[in-house]
Amino acid sequence: MQNHRGQGQKPRKRVPESHLATAPNQVWTWDITWLTGPVKGLYYRLYLILDLFSRKVVGWEVWETEEAQYTEKLVKKAVMKEEIQGRPLVLHSDNGSPMQAATFLGLLETLGIQSSFSRPRVSNDNPYSEAMFRTLKYRPEYPHKGFESLEDARKWSRQFVNWYNEIHLHSGLNFVTPTQCHNGKYKDVLSKRIGVYETARKRNPERWARGTRDWSAHEQVALNPMREDTQIVSGD
């Protein structure tokens, strides 16, 4: 029962869309998460766009419903804020209705943005956005009993995004902030850190059984990197 039967071609797994970012504003990922409201069954929707290379939140909004018009406003606002009109950009998301709306896809085409989607019913094709939401909801100050109002949810989200971008030392970025990575200052920060560690090692060599930690700046980030043994299904 574990083997394929019949004369038809054996089905092959569909591979996820893969993208590589070597600098900020080349690949963005975005998603929507629900924030608990003041009563049971009431939720607010946090729309959030994350830069793949720097992990910086480049756009966010909180609304009461999921609608394509809100998504269009958010993307246009983020593009203008980052001043990247006309530059190549990939926007990756899951397959929700706001992501697949014809008006939204038309806007992306007008802006020259390449749309990218997760595989249907696959939850881990957008891992960076999912990890961001996990960080958000595991913050000690996150109001698990619910937000009192839409404005309360927006206020808290604004504070969280400021902390995440400007203060949070991201482990995936070798402990620099997303803003430092986004504006390029992370290279100087890590270079100075290497010097500090080398100086400390020379002063107290007995504290290091091996070399110091690798504080080199990352050069690229892959979204759903393809394995060498992966076979691409024709037509996907």
* Together in a domain, 143 and 209: no
Could you give the number of structural domains in the chain?
2
User: Containing domain of residue 149, as a range?
Assistant: 19-168
- Kindly state whether residues 115 and 158 are assigned to the same domain: yes
Is residue 235 over pLDDT 80? no
| 162 and 202 co-located in one domain | no
| Statement to judge: residues 113 and 82 lie in one domain | yes
Are residue 194 and residue 216 in the same domain, yes or no? yes
Residues 185 and 125 in one domain: no
Does 144 map to a domain? yes
Tens-place pLDDT, residues 136-176: 999 999 999 999 999 999 999 999 999 999 999 999 999 99
pLDDT at 234: 34
pTM (2 d.p.): 0.87
Neighbouring residues of 48: CB distance < 8 A, sequence distance ≥ 6: 30, 31, 32, 33, 57, 59, 60, 129, 132, 133
- Of all residues in the chain, what percent carry a pLDDT higher than 70? 88
Q: Is-contact 147 35, C-beta < 8 A?
A: yes
Cβ partners under 8 Å of residue 104, min gap 6: 68, 71, 72, 75, 98
In a domain, 7, yes or no: no
- pLDDT one-digit tens code per residue, 37-50: 999 999 999 999 99
Q: How many residues are recorded in the chain?
A: 236
Query: Is residue 154 located within the same domain as residue 215?
Result: no
pLDDT band for position 2 (cuts 50, 70, 90): low
Residue 232 lies in a domain: no
Same domain, 204 and 184: yes
In a domain, 174, yes or no: no
126, 147, 168 — which closes off a domain? 168
User: pLDDT tens digits for 96-117?
Assistant: 888 889 999 999 999 999 999 9
In a domain, 81, yes or no: yes
Task: Give pLDDT tens digits for 11-64.
Answer: 556 667 889 999 999 999 999 999 999 999 999 999 999 999 999 999 999 999
| Of the candidates 109, 107, 103, 132, the residue with the CA atom closest to the CA atom of residue 30 | 132
- 89 with 28: CB under 8 angstroms? yes
* 66 and 97 Cβ atoms separated by less than 8 Å: yes
